[in-house]
Amino acid sequence: MILWDLRFDSKLVQLPIEHCQSLPAALFSQNDRDEILGKPNRPIRQPEGKTNMTTKLLLLPFALLFAAHNPLRGEMIYDITATDIDNETRKLEEFAGKLLLIVNVASKCGFTGQYENLESLYQKYKDEGLVVLGFPCNQFGGQEPGTSEDIKSFCSLNYGVTFPMFEKIDVNGPNQHPLYSFLSGENSPFQGRVKWNFSKFLVGRDGKILARFGSMTNPESSKITKAIEAAL
């Protein structure tokens, strides 16, 4: 979880960044909200009176409770859990603050060679904050029939994959994984069924979906690298 440090009247307050987005406007002014979110471009304001800020501190727990349970906040990618290739449950919250390229992969597809490009892309930008996440899927032509152990061995031996890999999931249909409900569901800016293996979603450091790329768009194409560099 990303925490923002904020001082009011010499008191340190740590706010989860996803909660700050929905702090009630009646309680915090726009300047307060921008200060919490770290936005630097608003005019510097004069310090507020001690009583006013102390009152806000007292009300802050109620504001955070409202933000956490606000139905308008919607699901965030960091609320989702997934099982990795080693059968370990992982919260996607661990990738908060990273730029994510999420790909549904397969071992027996005409686009399987993109594993090499994905690994190259990961190595090039990982120190700047990019993480590639691979999610095997067998929904397209039965092209990912193996077990997690089979998939892990295939990726390691043939393409030297080091980016995080997860267990096989459904990206469409009644058993669609919650991650793909988030990425392609009705509330997504890039909604619509995943059409084939190696479709790609770019998710920003703030957890918002930035772009969607089809199977035929190579991970190292200028279209994707420019989008990555702009978001890093």
Q: Is the pLDDT of residue 7 over 50?
A: no
Separation between Cα atoms, residue 189 and residue 203, nearest integer Å: 12
* 179 in the same domain as 94: yes
Q: Are residues 142 and 187 both part of a single domain?
A: yes
**Mean local confidence (pLDDT), 6-30:** 48
CATH number at 117 reads 3.40.30.10
- Neighbouring C-beta atoms of residue 118, cutoff 10 Å: 25
User: 168 and 136, same structural domain?
Assistant: yes
* Residue pLDDT, tens place only, 206-224: 999 999 999 999 999 999 9
Predicted TM-score (pTM) of this structure: 0.70
**What pLDDT, on the 0 to 100 scale, is given for residue 106?**
98
Task: Please provide the average confidence, as pLDDT, over all residues in the chain.
Answer: 82
The yes-or-no verdict on residue 127 having pLDDT over 70 is yes
**Arithmetic mean of pLDDT, 191-195:** 97
Do 15 and 109 fall into the same domain?
A: no
Alpha-carbon distance of 29 to 172, in angstroms, equals 42
Strands 130-136 and 99-105: parallel
Are 85 and 59 part of one and the same domain?
no
Q: Among 69, 101, 120, which residue terminates a domain? A: 69
Q: Are residues 186 and 215 in the same domain?
A: yes
Q: Which of 20, 109, 137, 155 is catalytic?
A: 109
Same structural domain, 207 and 172: yes
Active site annotation includes 155: no
% residues pLDDT > 70 (the chain): 68
Supply angle C-alpha 73, 185, 209, rounded to 5.
Answer: 65
Domain housing 20: 3-69
